């Protein structure tokens, strides 16, 4: 039952209602007059679509190329898959029996083109048995079907009927030009698609995997140990194929097809192309506990979605470690990533910025599918390591006149380029900077005492200021005076060294502690 | 053979009878005579677990500990890299030091029934400021007989809050590009990640593993030590405690680590007529060392090459209790 424009219409009817003369599209009021005891429930198109999507996914057991079709169908590209099931008829029979077990009424058709299969499924197949059309007999099979079977919009169908064209076969002898002039290009196009004169690609639900291996079970399995064993066998099988093709997988998907038609997935990426069955199996094993097998899993499908060339490696004797030398850190990064979660692993990446927190960022490894830089390898080849990069880029303004009384003890002004050449940076940097309560004599001076984390520190010595202004060329620049920071390196009486800054230039500046020096 | 050489050789032999695992993976000298003398084998044992504590308020932040560790790792990775370069560099160590080490290493090898090599010491460039020579002496081979080179140099740094700062580490000599940061929420996960790293081994390109940890059960420490021993990767535990209570509970607990250090920031060494912050100083304490002697030094913090050096005696420096090997109470542990 759906509500359209204030009227309530029937969206779908069951066989009993159909027998009583009800049909989709009929107003509910009329239907109730036919059948006073009619049980009507609101339609849930979203839930229907989700269920259809799930069904399409489940059909992945027959072929990787599946997709929902409209609101009431699933298309499966089974080219090259039939023989795995002992022929197309056996495949259809298997599909029918499994759908029947799930309590789904269905009509199955297998044909040479998407259009022909669509027509046959809806207009030729009966619930009892599937309809077949051999590619050579497509036109004969379609000829007796009504023109609606060509996937045309209702006005076009009405137009065809008005001129007496009721069956598809009646369109065959018609001149194309006349058809096109009168009914638009869609009739000829659909006809050609159904008869395999025009190609019609099927866009699959998932991108087509590069390599896929499947394991079906005679009895549904649900024990974790069984699932783990099956995952091991699949990874071994996949690794075998990947090795033959000289590639390694970067993105993998292990699908668990449950008896009840639900599909569970473990998707993972690897830091480096891998076809090491043991390694991949261990990655899956770490995630197996997230899988709910429900009443049982009847199929498992392992697909490699992204592969990269991987040279054939000399596999060492057990324990000689040749494999680890070749793979480098990638297996370790994969294992850590699996347990610690996405985003836990990062590299320190130098950026061209003089704002301290932007000069070095934690770049998450494996994000955006980008290949992580495995440090160490080739680190020596990098002619310009970070320690010469960011610090030199930092724009430092040393204030000449902003300092307090020149003779004040415990304070100095360092000239740019004095002694070390670059201002020291703390080993620990707090993000965001932690606010402190500072006591100062003149706003331009470093504080003589500050309180950080409820502990008071007396400043014994200080260096600075180092003025770091906002990056005015960045889109998020505010231009506010508070964005200007004056950094001071201070040492307390105990000898601990801190990096403080004063935000803003006004009479009431805010002080922050940004880092701790070693 | 002078008597000193014989004695050292004998000491080494005894050490290896006591604990054959001890310096299997070689040592990394500090290049500071006083520190290296306190350590068995003349340097920080590689392929072992080292524990580094902060002091005072820094126990929470572990900044000095991180700086000290960064310096060690900088020298470790640089020494590994210099070994890869094929051209033989001339021997640069002072002649007084080299024969002693030769003797020690050769005796070590002959004891283990291996072929003695004529040049066990790998010369390395001397310290720029000439306070001592860095001698990266990686005496032992890997556990599986493979040489440990081949692109080593990555460092796994496991922590709870990723607050290590690249430019700061670079200031102590460690190239931040070498770091793989693993952030974990719990101590257990950090220990697990460290162990995974250690088990991966040097062959994968890992030079060191660092973990910042609060609570360390004895068993976990022992596991890490065993993993480090078997793989040859050197591990560092930076102890960071959230509060004084946790610090008090953990500070005195025994550990499976080979050495335990405490690094405390000291007021910097001022320069005459320059009242600002001078050269940063650390009070470096070797609290515990298996087969070594506990001692303490006042050093200048690790410089841009990762080296520490003994602080120059300055008249205006506040008096600090200073223990050297000679006057330290002899307490052998392990």
- Residues A191 and A172: their CA atoms lie apart, in Å, by 9
- pLDDT for B132 beyond 50: no
Residue A139, helix vs strand vs coil: helix
Whether B153 sits inside 8 A of A494 (CB atoms) is no
Question: Is B64 in contact with A518 (Cβ distance < 8 A)?
Answer: yes
Q: Is the pLDDT of residue B3 over 70?
A: no
Query: Quick check: A426 and B168 CB within 8 A?
Result: yes
B73 touches chain A (CB under 8 A): no
Among A325, A360, A413, select the one facing B176 at the smallest CB separation: A360
Give the contacts of A93 (CB within 8 A, at least 6 positions apart): A130
Q: What is the DSSP letter of B28?
A: E
Measured CA to CA, the distance from residue A74 to residue A53 in angstroms comes to 8
Task: Report, at the CATH architecture level, how domain A211-313+325-337 is classified.
Answer: 2-Layer Sandwich (3.30)
Where does the pLDDT of residue B169 fall: very low under 50, low under 70, confident under 90, or very high at 90 and above?
very high
Q: Which residues of A touch B233 (CB under 8 A)?
A: none
Find the CB nearest A321 among B68, B167, B203. B203
- CB burial of B97-111 (b: ≥16 within 10 Å; e: otherwise) equals bbeebbbbbbbbbee
Please name which of B260, B268, B223 lies closest in space to residue B238, comparing C-alpha atoms.
B260
pLDDT-wise least confident of A136-150, B64-78, B173-187, B282-296: A136-150
- Please give the average per-residue pLDDT across B54-73, as a whole number: 89
**Which of A336, A362, A460 shows the shortest C-beta gap to B267?**
A460
- Nearest CA among A108, A90, A86 for reference residue A99: A108
> Which is more confidently placed, B86 or B238?
B238
Angle in degrees, 0-180, between the axes of helices A176-183 and A185-194, rounded to the nearest 10: 130
- Tell which residue, B173, B199, B171, has the closest CA to residue A324: B199
> What is the tally of helices (H) and strands (E) in chain B?
9, 11
Residues A301-331: pLDDT tens digits? Answer: 999 888 888 776 655 554 444 444 556 788 8
H or E segment and range at residue A307 = strand A297-309
Is the pLDDT at A264 greater than 60? The verdict is yes
Q: B81 to chain A: which residues are within 8 Å by CB? A: 380
Residues B203-219: tens digit of each pLDDT:
778 889 999 998 888 99
Mark yes or no for CB contact B58/A376 under 8 Å.
no
DSSP state of A507: S
State chain A's maximal CA–CA distance in angstroms. 108
User: What is the model's pLDDT at position B97?
Assistant: 38
Query: What residue in B sits closest to A345 (Cα-Cα)?
Result: B182
The residue that leads in pLDDT, B274 or A438, is: A438
Query: In this predicted complex, what is the ipTM?
Result: 0.72
Q: Chain A residues with CB inside 8 Å of B275's CB?
A: 409-412, 461
Q: Is the pLDDT of residue A14 over 50?
A: yes
State pLDDT tens for residues A466-493: 888 888 888 877 777 778 889 999 999 8
**What CA–CA distances, in Å, run from B247 to B56, B119, B120, B240?**
10, 46, 42, 8
Over the stretch A109-119, which tens digit does the pLDDT of each residue have?
888 888 888 88
Higher pLDDT, B108 or A436: A436
Chain B residue with CA closest to A382: the answer is B177
What's the rounded Cα separation, in Å, for the pair A96 and A116? 19
Residue B212: per-residue pLDDT:
93
Residue carrying structure tokens 């003369």 = A21
* pLDDT at residue B65 tops 90: yes
**The pair of three-digit structure tokens given for residue A452, joined into one six-digit string:** 């950080």
Tokens read off for B208: 């060191």
Residue with tokens 């449950």: A258
Query: Are B66 and A345 inside 8 Å of each other by CB?
Result: no
Q: Tens of pLDDT along A15-64?
A: 778 887 788 878 888 888 887 877 778 888 888 888 888 888 888 888 88
Among chain B residues, the shortest Cα distance to A336 is held by B193
Q: Supply the pLDDT for residue A261.
A: 81
* pLDDT of the residue at A181: 84
Beta carbons of B151 and A328 less than 8 Å apart: yes
Is the pLDDT reported for residue A343 higher than 90? Answer: no
A374 contacts on B by Cβ (under 8 Å): 154, 205
What digits encode the pLDDT tens for the residues A187-200? 888 888 888 888 88
Q: Where are the beta strands (DSSP E) in A77-183?
A: 109-110, 131-132
- Tell me the average pLDDT across B224-242: 91
Are the C-beta atoms of residues A204 and A279 closer than 8 Å to each other? no
Position B84 pLDDT exceeds 70: no
Query: Shortest CB distance from A375 goes to which of B70, B179, B200?
Result: B179
pLDDT digit string, tens, across residues A159-173: 888 888 888 888 888
pLDDT band at residue B110 using 50, 70 and 90 as cut-offs: very low
- Would the pLDDT of A401 be above 70? no
A360/B167 touch (CB, cutoff 8 Å), yes or no: yes
Give the residue on A whose Cα is nearest the Cα of B207: A376
The verdict on a CB contact (< 8 Å) between A390 and B167 is yes
Which residues is A467 bridged to in the sheet?
A397, A486
CB contact under 8 A, B180 and A360: no
Burial A320-332 (b: 16+ CB within 10 A, else e): ebebbbbbbbbbb
| A-B Cβ pairs (cutoff 8 Å, strict) | 242
Taking the CA of residue A476 and the nearest CA in chain B, the distance in Å comes to 23
> Mean pLDDT over all residues of chain A?
79
Which band of pLDDT confidence, cut at 50, 70 and 90, is reported for residue B283?
A: very high
Q: How far apart are CA A413 and CA A393, in angstroms?
A: 21
Contact A412 B168 (CB under 8 A): no
Q: Look at the block and give the residue holding tokens 């502990």.
A: A455
* Residue B8 banded pLDDT, cuts 50, 70, 90: confident
Query: Helices A176-183 and A154-162 sit at what angle, rounded to 10 degrees?
Result: 120
Q: Which of A270-279, A500-509, B87-96, B165-174 is least confident?
A: B87-96
Name B147's Cβ contacts closer than 8 Å, sequence gap at least 6: B141
Q: What is the pLDDT of residue A1?
A: 55
Please report, for chain A, the start and end positions of each structural domain, with discontinuous segments joined by +. 2-34, 53-194, 211-313+325-337, 346-388, 391-516
CA distance B59 to chain A (A): 11
Q: Tell how many helices (H) and how many strands (E) occur in chain A.
A: 15, 20
Per the CB < 8 Å rule, is B200 touching A382? no
Which residue in this structure is represented by tokens 């072992």? B48
Indicate whether B145 pLDDT > 60: no
A337: closest chain B residue by CA: B182
Whether pLDDT at B326 is above 70: no
Q: How far is B216 from chain A (nearest CA, A)?
A: 19
Query: CB–CB of B248/B59 below 8 Å?
Result: no
Instruction: Provide the 8-state DSSP code for B92.
Output: -
């Amino acid at each position: 039952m759906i509500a359209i424009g204030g009227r309530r219409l029937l969206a779908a009817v069951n066989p009993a209602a159909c027998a009583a003369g009800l049909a989709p599209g009929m107003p509910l009021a009329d239907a109730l007059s036919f059948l006073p005891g009619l049980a009507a429930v609101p339609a849930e198109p979203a839930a229907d679509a989700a269920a259809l999507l799930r069904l399409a996914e489940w059909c992945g057991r027959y072929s990787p190329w599946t997709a929902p079709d409209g609101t009431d169908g699933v298309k499966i590209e089974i080219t090259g898959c039939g023989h795995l099931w002992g022929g197309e008829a056996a495949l259809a029979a298997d599909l029918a029996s499994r759908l029947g077990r799930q309590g789904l009424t269905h009509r199955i058709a297998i044909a040479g083109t998407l259009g022909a299969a669509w027509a046959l499924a809806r207009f030729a197949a009966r619930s009892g048995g599937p309809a077949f059309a051999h590619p050579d007999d497509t036109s004969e099979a379609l000829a007796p079907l009504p023109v609606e079977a060509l996937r045309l919009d209702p006005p076009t169908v009405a137009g065809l009927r008005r001129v007496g064209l009721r069956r598809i076969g009646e369109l065959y002898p018609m001149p194309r030009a006349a058809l096109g002039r009168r009914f638009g290009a869609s009739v000829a196009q659909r006809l050609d698609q159904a008869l395999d004169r025009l190609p019609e690609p099927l866009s699959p639900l998932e991108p087509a995997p590069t390599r896929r291996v499947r394991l079906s079970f005679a009895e549904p399995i649900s024990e974790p140990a069984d699932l783990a064993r099956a995952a091991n066998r699949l990874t071994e099988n996949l690794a075998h194929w990947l090795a033959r093709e000289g590639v390694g997988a970067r993105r993998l998907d292990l699908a668990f097809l449950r008896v009840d038609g639900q599909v569970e997935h473990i998707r993972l990426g690897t830091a480096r192309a891998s076809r090491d069955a043991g390694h991949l199996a261990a990655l899956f094993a770490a995630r197996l506990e997230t899988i709910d097998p429900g009443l049982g899993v009847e199929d498992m499908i392992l697909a490699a979605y992204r592969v990269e060339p991987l040279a054939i490696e000399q596999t060492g004797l057990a324990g000689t470690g040749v494999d680890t030398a070749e793979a480098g850190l990638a297996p370790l990064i994969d294992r850590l990533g699996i347990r610690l979660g996405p985003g836990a692993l990062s590299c320190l990446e130098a950026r061209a910025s003089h704002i301290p927190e932007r000069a070095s960022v934690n770049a998450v490894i494996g994000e955006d599918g980008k290949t992580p830089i495995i440090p160490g390898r080739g680190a020596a080849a990098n002619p310009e390591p970070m320690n010469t990069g960011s610090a030199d880029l930092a724009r430092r303004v040393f204030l000449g006149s902003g300092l307090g009384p020149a003779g004040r003890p415990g304070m100095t002004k360092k000239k740019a380029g004095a002694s070390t050449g670059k201002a020291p940076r703390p080993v620990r940097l707090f993000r965001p900077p932690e606010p402190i309560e500072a006591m100062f004599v003149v706003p331009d001076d470093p504080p003589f005492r500050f309180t950080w984390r409820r502990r008071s520190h007396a400043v014994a010595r200080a260096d600075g200021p180092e003025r770091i202004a906002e990056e005015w060329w960045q889109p998020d620049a505010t231009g506010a005076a508070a964005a200007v920071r004056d950094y001071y390196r201070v040492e307390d009486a105990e000898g601990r060294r801190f990096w403080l800054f004063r935000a803003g230039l006004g009479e009431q500046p805010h002080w922050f502690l940004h880092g701790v020096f070693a | 053979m002078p008597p000193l050489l014989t004695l050292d050789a004998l000491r080494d032999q005894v050490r290896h009878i006591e604990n054959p695992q001890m310096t299997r993976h070689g040592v990394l000298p500090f290049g500071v005579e006083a520190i290296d003398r306190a350590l068995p084998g003349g340097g920080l044992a590689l392929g072992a677990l080292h524990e580094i504590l902060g002091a005072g308020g820094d126990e929470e932040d572990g900044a000095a500990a991180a700086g000290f560790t960064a310096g060690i790792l900088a020298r470790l990775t640089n020494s590994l890299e210099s070994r890869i370069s094929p051209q033989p560099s001339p021997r640069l160590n002072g002649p007084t030091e080299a024969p002693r080490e030769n003797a020690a290493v050769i005796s070590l090898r002959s004891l283990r029934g291996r072929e003695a090599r004529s040049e066990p010491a790998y010369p390395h460039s001397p310290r720029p400021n000439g306070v001592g020579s860095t001698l990266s002496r990686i005496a032992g081979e890997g556990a599986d007989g493979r040489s440990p080179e081949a692109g080593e140099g990555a460092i796994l740094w496991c922590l709870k809050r990723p607050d290590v700062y690249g430019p700061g580490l670079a200031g102590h000599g460690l190239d931040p590009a070498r770091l793989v940061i693993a952030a974990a929420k719990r101590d257990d996960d950090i220990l697990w990640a460290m162990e995974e790293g250690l088990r991966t081994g040097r062959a994968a390109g890992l030079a060191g593993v660092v973990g910042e940890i609060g609570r360390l059960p004895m068993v976990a420490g022992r596991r890490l030590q065993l993993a480090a021993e078997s793989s040859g990767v050197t591990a560092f535990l930076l102890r960071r405690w959230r509060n004084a209570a946790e610090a008090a509970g953990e500070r005195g607990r025994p550990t499976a680590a080979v050495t335990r250090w405490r690094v405390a920031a000291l007021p910097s060494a001022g320069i005459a007529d320059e009242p600002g912050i001078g050269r940063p100083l650390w009070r470096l304490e070797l609290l515990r060392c298996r087969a070594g002697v506990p001692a303490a030094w006042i050093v200048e913090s690790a410089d841009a090459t990762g080296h520490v050096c003994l602080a120059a005696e300055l008249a205006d420096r506040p008096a600090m209790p200073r223990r050297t090997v000679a006057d330290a109470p002899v307490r052998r542990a392990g």
